[in-house]
Structure 1
Amino acid sequence: MTRLLPLAAAIVLGNVLLALTWAPHLSTSGDNAEYINLSQHLGDYASTKFPPLYPAVLWLVGPDLTAMKLVAGASYVALGAVVTAYAGILAGVLTLTMPALLLMSSQVMADVPFALLVTVGVLLCASRERRPSRSWIAYSGDPPGFGPAVYQTAQAWWWTGFAILLLSCYVKTAGVAIVLGVLLLQGRKLRPWAVATLVLAPWFAWTWYHGGNTYIGKSLLANGYYPERGFVAPIALLERVWSNVNTYIYHMPMILALFIVGERRLLLLPFIPYMGLTLIWPWAADRMLVPLVPICAIALSLGVKDAVSKPWARHTFYAAFIALAVLALGRVVLAHQALPDELSPEWQRYRDAGVWLRDNTPKESIVCARKPGWLGWHAQRKGVGFLFVGRDSLWQDLLDKRVDYVVVDQLGYAATPRHLIPALQAHGDELRLRWSSGGTHILEMWHDGTQAEDSPR
């Protein structure tokens, strides 16, 4: 019974923290709305950026925003329980209080479900034995002291974990990097490579056929928002890596534990390709850390247990636990502050623009906006973005897309004043102001020289 207490405590803590940081509105991250829109159009799925499994899950839970958010919320609580069951309550607390993970737990994002899958997959590949230095041998051969029955069980667990990791690739394409890490540990064993190729080939074929970009190709761009600038120079790439290293260590210093806790650091090995990808990515983002949080927490917790098991170190355990508890509380406060209950005034006006479009425009209208997915979800209209190009090229792109309405925002994104506004100013005689509030405007485009009828502002 006492063994279940840490697990129960982790589940309770996860639900409490989820409730404390819950925000009722749709997150301003564009990917939230993108996932929702994809889930509502599975029949004509055309995304090369997001694999279809997570949108399919959202479709199953229904169109309610709270229900869709709870997919990530339930995954967050389950992740805390898995980590606690494997490495103890300290690891569970460290995982559940990590701001990067907590902030994602109430969003319509694939990051937390993805982290749950890769954590379970890696731990199963490492077998149920808490000896990572031996666990990777479980598939490759029969280690000393292992009987046939134990070896067969280890094989079964390895393949189960590997299957879960392959499944994670259909939640986020970044899972391919972790699968690659596991495959590299198998050396020349061809069967895992063949299985991975067969399972992942459909998604890669789909992406290639529809002209999607690869992760590696995008990560090596000089600027992810301006592909025409080409690839990053070698010196600039080194500067980017160094900047990302500093950023990630600052936001999650416990990642250093993986390098100082002895054999536990071997849990990191499958994540090496993924970490390399995050370091060369054009920008640093907390969400990149989410898959690493559970493994780092496990490694740190087991390392602490090993350290305090020494007779000379036992008296430091309580002091260390109290210090970590205070740190965890501080991180929860930071996470709560980073995810306010209400939208900022600028985003409220942006939402109001979407509501106006929903109530005052034909359903077939096409709306151009800086955050087309987010605005389109509130407007219940098709949203499209604008190109980051010169004003004439941008305007022609709007005409080619048959845009009916353009939303000018004040969200702070540089692309709006740099690209969109000059194009609109150059063609002011072909636009009409339909709604305005605090610097946020809705402009209607005239097509074929026809002036639109007045509508309420």
Structure 2
Amino acid sequence: MKEIKPVKSNTLHYYMAGLTILFAVTFSYTFNSKIDINGDNCAYYMLATSIAGGHGYSDITSEAYNPTNVFPPGYPLLMSFIRIFTDGFFPQKVLNGLFLLGSVLLLFFFVRKNKLPDSLAFVASAVVLLNYQVLHFATMMMSEMSFLFFAVLTLWFLCKADDGKPFWKDRYFYLAIFSAAYCYHVRTQGIAMAAAVLGYFLFTKRWKEMLAFAGGFVVCLMPWMLRNRIIGTGQSRYLSMINIANPWRPETGTLSVSEIISRFFETFGMLVSKAVPNSILPYFSTDYISPSVWSEWGTAVILFAVIGIGIWQLGRYKYLFLFYIVATFGVISLFSTPSENRYITSLLPFLEVGLIVGLYTVLSFGIRKMKITKAFSPWLLIPLFFFSYPKLEQAHAQNKAPFPANYRNFFAIAEEVHKKLPASTMVCSRKSELFYMYGKNAVCGYVWTEDDRELIQGLIQSKTEYVVVEQLGYSSTARYLYPAVQKHPELFKTVIHLPDPDTYLLKFDREKAVEKFNK
């Protein structure tokens, strides 16, 4: 491909303005002003509140402010700067949107730096802003967008560090180490970025850079690891999940090494044949429960072939892209949690860029071979954008709709607790983080066990005063909590009952439970 001359700066400004305008349109159209009902976004918010309040990285759901490592600290730390000034959700969601915009602009410059047409860099970056999955997470208080930003920033710093200086004299090399380390501190999945960079240095035979990067990365990880060791919070919870058969059914036990390997390849196949096509092709519906069929594998092979062709146009950085994609799939495949396409959200922009560059390369080659015209314009790929509209319209409708009735009841009980009970009142429920956001009281979860005595003992030990029996759709309530309540009705008195669907706030008689179970 002929080397492309850099566009004039004013034209470059037009491209940047175009991406910014497209971001403003799609982000505002799919924006969700409500809190997301997944629960994890509440946990991030609460950790940011703890940092902003001067309590460190702690659990604020009890008066003890116990140190925690439930999530890596990177995203709550970023949130805390806003949390100091406001407790609103809106600014936090805008921050996530800005991380997305920053990522897209950096991807534009990254593609452009690899001597591809500026118009192609624009189209490849713009398509990221039309991805339903990416926009869906951009309007949550979740870590995906900040993770994406620091992943792309790592690539950009490596690009800048390759401009000729010895690496030990180049500030961009050190910034790349810091950015990759912060990636890991946002999501443990960030270890894939470190592996990709090391693989890149290995394949380009840059041994000194590889050793220096590895050493710098480990040094950046040490403060968090030492902090956890000193306070006794143990290792990352994600590491402990690798050999668990089902995290939502602890009674199912653990897996053998052969079973872990089998699950790894099963998940890897699901990601390739189902999750990626479902996330990149907006009209490609997927059944994640049934085994992959030949048509899904055929679609995946074609899709990854085009993506691979696109990545191969990125010069020496093709290895970095390829290693990052493979390493990310590998890390995700180790998780025991059925993830569908959730955990590839931060990888999708890289795949989208590869797809668009690949399409451009294939079509350009075909047109030249058939002698239709001398060149293929990237602008002719823009009609593909319109395939994204149905999914964006679906996201718009979902995000503007009110909470489902089961969540409205759950939040209504939390608001009543906030109005009528002291903040120190301990309430036990499923999705306790969500309950805290409306109740502003001490919260805890119940023990996931089919042994009713063990579950009641857990309520006693956590000093539970009230229990919420809800119908949010999670099987643990029906499997663990509800049978224990039914078996010991004398320990639970109904305080609030909301119908359609039935949702209860029960007063737990802790003294009677102690007397009954400690005989």
Residues 184-239 of structure 1 show CA distances to partners (whole Å, capped at 9, x for unaligned) of 33345322221111110222334453123453442342112244511261444433
The more displaced of 179-188 and 341-350 is 179-188
For residue 350 of structure 2, what is the aligned residue in structure 1? 295
Residues 411-453 of structure 1 show CA distances to partners (whole Å, capped at 9, x for unaligned) of 1111111111001112211111111112011111123249xxx
Distance in 2 between residues matched to 1:217 and 1:258, nearest whole Å: 34
Residues 361-385 of structure 1 show CA distances to partners (whole Å, capped at 9, x for unaligned) of 1211111111000111110012211
The answer to whether the 8 A contact 1:39-1:59 is kept is yes
SS at match of 1:58: helix
Work out whether 1:66 is the aligned partner of 2:90. Answer: yes
SS at match of 2:185: coil
Distance in 1 between residues matched to 2:218 and 2:166, nearest whole Å: 25
Task: Mark the CA change 1:227 to 1:207 in structure 2 (over 3 Å): closer, same or farther.
Answer: farther
The more displaced of 308-317 and 193-202 is 308-317
For residue 171 of structure 1, what is the aligned residue in structure 2? 186
1:274 aligned to which of 320, 328, 344: 328
2:505 aligned to which of 442, 445, 450: 442
Task: Mark the CA change 1:185 to 1:318 in structure 2 (over 3 Å): closer, same or farther.
Answer: closer
For residue 249 of structure 1, what is the aligned residue in structure 2? 276
The more displaced of 87-96 and 342-351 is 87-96
For residue 341 of structure 2, what is the aligned residue in structure 1? 286
The answer to whether the 8 A contact 1:110-1:171 is kept is yes
For residue 218 of structure 1, what is the aligned residue in structure 2? 241
**Alignment map for 1:134-283 (pairs within 5 Å):** 138=162, 149=164, 155-187=170-202, 188-189=207-208, 190-208=211-229, 209-213=232-236, 215-227=238-250, 229-231=253-255, 233=259, 234-253=261-280, 256=304, 257-261=306-310, 262-264=312-314, 265-266=318-319, 267-282=321-336, 283=338
Distance in 2 between residues matched to 1:84 and 1:326, nearest whole Å: 21
Shift of 1:181: 2.3
The answer to whether the 8 A contact 2:409-2:503 is kept is yes
Task: Mark the CA change 1:178 to 1:224 in structure 2 (over 3 Å): closer, same or farther.
Answer: farther
Task: Mark the CA change 1:152 to 1:238 in structure 2 (over 3 Å): closer, same or farther.
Answer: closer
Residues 218-275 of structure 1 show CA distances to partners (whole Å, capped at 9, x for unaligned) of 2342112244511261444433333343331332347724323334343232343222
Task: Mark the CA change 1:316 to 1:349 in structure 2 (over 3 Å): closer, same or farther.
Answer: farther
Distance in 1 between residues matched to 2:169 and 2:359, nearest whole Å: 27
Name the aligned partner's letter for residue 258 of structure 1.
Answer: I
5+ residue gaps, structure 1, are: 129-134, 139-145, 451-457
For residue 423 of structure 2, what is the aligned residue in structure 1? 363
For residue 142 of structure 1, what is the aligned residue in structure 2? none
**Alignment map for 1:327-342 (pairs within 5 Å):** 327-342=387-402
Work out whether 1:9 is the aligned partner of 2:30. Answer: no
For residue 46 of structure 2, what is the aligned residue in structure 1? 37
Name the aligned partner's letter for residue 447 of structure 2.
Answer: L
Task: Mark the CA change 1:300 to 1:241 in structure 2 (over 3 Å): closer, same or farther.
Answer: closer
Name the aligned partner's letter for residue 268 of structure 1.
Answer: L
Aligned-pair Cα RMSD in Å: 2.6
**Alignment map for 1:407-418 (pairs within 5 Å):** 407-418=468-479
The answer to whether the 8 A contact 2:280-2:352 is kept is no
Work out whether 1:109 is the aligned partner of 2:130. Answer: no
TM-score normalised to structure 1 length: 0.86
For residue 57 of structure 1, what is the aligned residue in structure 2? 78
SS at match of 1:107: coil
What is the aligned length?
432
Work out whether 1:431 is the aligned partner of 2:492. Answer: yes
SS at match of 1:436: strand
The answer to whether the 8 A contact 2:180-2:217 is kept is no
Residues 73-123 of structure 1 show CA distances to partners (whole Å, capped at 9, x for unaligned) of 221222222223333221222211111210011111111111111012123
Task: Mark the CA change 1:221 to 1:338 in structure 2 (over 3 Å): closer, same or farther.
Answer: farther
The more displaced of 207-216 and 321-330 is 207-216
For residue 61 of structure 2, what is the aligned residue in structure 1? none
Shift of 1:29: 1.3
Name the aligned partner's letter for residue 366 of structure 1.
Answer: M
The answer to whether the 8 A contact 2:429-2:445 is kept is yes
